Amino acid sequence: MALNVVLYEPEIPANTGNIGRTCMATGTRLHLIEPLGFRLGEKELRRAGMDYWDQLDVTRYADYEEFLEKNPGAKIYMATTKGPRAYTEVHFEPDCYLMFGKESAGIPEEILHDNKETSMRIPMLPGTRSLNLSNSVAIVVYEALRQNEFSNMELTGHLRNYDWD
C-alpha cells in the first residue's frame, strides 16, 4: 500500500513540515504543487518535519497540469470544506491520492467542479471555516489507512520495562 498526499500550493512551512512527518510515519508519498508559499529549505519546515524531511518521498510539480500529466489515471480524492459527502463515506483505494488545498483558499472551485464524485469534507459545526491543514491531512490519511487495515504498519506498542500481559 502506498497512499499519496497532494498539497495544492501550500503556504505555511510548518503545516507542510508536519504533513511530511505524517507521511514519513505512514509510508505515504507527498506531492507538492507549486507555487509554494515558502522555500523548502526554511528552518520552520525542517523543524516541523524534524529529521525525517530528507528521507521523505516527495515530488514537486510546477502546476496542477504537470501533476496530472505525471500521474495519469490517478484516483484523486479532493478534501474540501465544500465537499458533498463526508470523508468517512468514501472507499479509499490503497494507492489513491488525497488532495488538499492551500491554507487561505483551498482547492480552486473549477477543479472541485470537475471532480464532484471524488470531493469530500471533514464534518464540522456550522460556521466553522476550516480545520488546520496538517490536522485535516492526518484525519483523512488515517481513515484511508484504517480502511486498508493499516497495511505494513506496526499495530502494537511496547513498554520499555514491562510486558502488557
pLDDT digits (tens, 9 = 90+) for 15-51: 998 999 999 999 999 999 999 998 777 566 666 655 6
**What's the mean pLDDT in 2-16?**
94
Confidence (pTM): 0.92
* C-alpha closest to that of 23 among 38, 46, 2, 47: 2
DSSP 3-state of 86: strand
Measured at the alpha carbon of residue 143, what is the angle toward residues 74 and 12, in degrees to the nearest 5? 75
Instruction: Give yes or no for a contact between 9 and 102, defined as CB atoms under 8 angstroms apart.
Output: yes
CATH of domain 4-147: 3.40.1280.10
Estimate the share of the chain in helix, then strand, then coil, as percent rounded to the nearest 5. Answer: 35, 15, 45
Domain ranges of the chain: 4-147
Which DSSP category does 117 fall into?
G
What pLDDT, on a 0 to 100 scale, did the predictor assign at position 98? 98
Mean pLDDT of the chain: 92
Residues 92-110: pLDDT tens digits?
A: 999 999 999 999 999 999 9
**What's the mean pLDDT in 133-152?**
95
* Portion of the chain with pLDDT greater than 70, in percent: 93
What is the signed CA dihedral for 151, 102, 41, 24, rounded to 10 degrees? Answer: -10
For residues 4 and 73, what is the distance between their CA atoms, to the nearest angstrom? Answer: 14
> Was 12 annotated as part of a binding site?
no
* Residue 122 pLDDT grade (very low, low, confident, very high; cuts 50, 70, 90): very high
> Was 122 annotated as part of a binding site?
yes
Instruction: Give yes or no for a contact between 21 and 49, defined as CB atoms under 8 angstroms apart.
Output: yes
